[in-house]
Amino acid sequence: MAAAAAYNEGMADPEQLERLLKQSQDNLTVIVAIQDRHGRMLVDHQEWLEQHTQDIARHREFVEEHAAMMQAIDSKLDRLAELIIR
């Protein structure tokens, strides 16, 4: 900020202004790279989240099918037990 104040007063050092300009350009380059990286990370996470959601849905279907199968097996075992006990 001191450089900006000195520039406004007409006392700016051209070398200092060049350094500040270079630093600003470097900062902008870094910011753009960070934004690109974060953008890619968001896309990757969105894809992972969609896949995970599908996996959870398939797992729920499996659990429901498994529960139905176990219920059918329990019914058969109950009938078998009744036949044995008679």
pLDDT tens digits for range 3-19:
555 555 666 799 999 99
pLDDT tens digits for range 13-60:
999 999 999 999 999 999 999 999 999 999 999 999 999 999 999 999
pLDDT value of position 5: 59
**pLDDT reading at 78 higher than 70:** yes
Mean pLDDT on 49-77: 98
pLDDT value of position 11: 67
How many whole angstroms separate alpha carbon 10 and alpha carbon 17? Answer: 12
Residue carrying structure tokens 């896309």:
43
**Tokens for 81?**
């037990």
